[in-house]
Structure 1
Amino acid sequence: MAKICIITKKKPMFGNNRSHALNATKKKFIPNLQYRKLWIPNKKKFIKIRISNKGMRIIEKKGIEKFFN
C-alpha cells in the first residue's frame, strides 16, 4: 500500500543521513501515518482511512464534512 496521506497528500521524501564526520548515506523520510475509523454524520457510517497526524489536526479544525461528502 502506498504511504500517502489522503488529506494532506504527504508522501515519503528522500535525503541524506549525515554523521558527525559528514558522511552521507541515503535515507527515506516517511510520514507519520495512522489507521483511523472516522464517523461521517451526513452519511451515517464509519470510514477507515490512513491519515497523517497533521491530517487529523486539519480534520479537527475544519470538520470531516469538508473532505468526505
Structure 2
Amino acid sequence: MSRICQITSKKRMIGNNRSHAMNATKRQFLANIQYHRFWIPSQKRFIKLRVSVHGMRCIDKKGIESFLNSINSKNKGN
C-alpha cells in the first residue's frame, strides 16, 4: 500500500543525500503517515484513515465532517 495521505494527498518526495565531498546519491523523503480512527458524531461511528500528521491538524482545526463532505463531492464528480 502506498504512503499517501487520504486527506492532503501528501506523498514521498525524491531528493539527494549530499556527502561532505558533495557527491549526490538518491534518497526518499517519506511523509509522516499514521493510521488514525476518527469519530463521526452524525453517523455515530468511527472511521479509520491513513492520514499525515499535517492532515490530522487540519481535521482538528476544521472538523472531520467538512473533509468527508469534500471527499464525497470529489467522488460524485468522477
Query: Comparing both structures, which one devotes a greater share of its residues to strand?
Result: 1
CA distance in 2, matches of 1:20, 1:58: 38
Q: Which residue matches 2:50?
A: 50
Structure 1 runs of 4+ aligned residues shifted over 4 Å read none
CA distance in 2, matches of 1:4, 1:13: 11
Aligned length in residues: 69
Matched, 1:16 2:13: no
Q: Which residue type is aligned with residue 64 of structure 1?
A: I
- For residue 4 of structure 1, report the CA deviation from its aligned partner: 0.3
CA distance in 2, matches of 1:43, 1:19: 53
CA distance in 1, matches of 2:44, 2:67: 15
Deviations 1:21-68 (A, max 9, x none): 111000011100011011011111101111000001000110111012
CA distance in 2, matches of 1:2, 1:43: 28
Structure 1 residue runs of 5 or longer lacking an equivalent are: none
Query: Comparing both structures, which one devotes a greater share of its residues to helix?
Result: 2
Query: SS where residue 68 of structure 2 aligns?
Result: coil
**Identity of matched residues, %:** 62
Structure 2 residue runs of 5 or longer lacking an equivalent are: 70-78
Q: Which residue matches 2:74?
A: none
Q: Which residue matches 1:35?
A: 35
Larger relative contact order (CA 8 Å, sep ≥ 6)? 1
TM-score, scaled to structure 1: 0.93
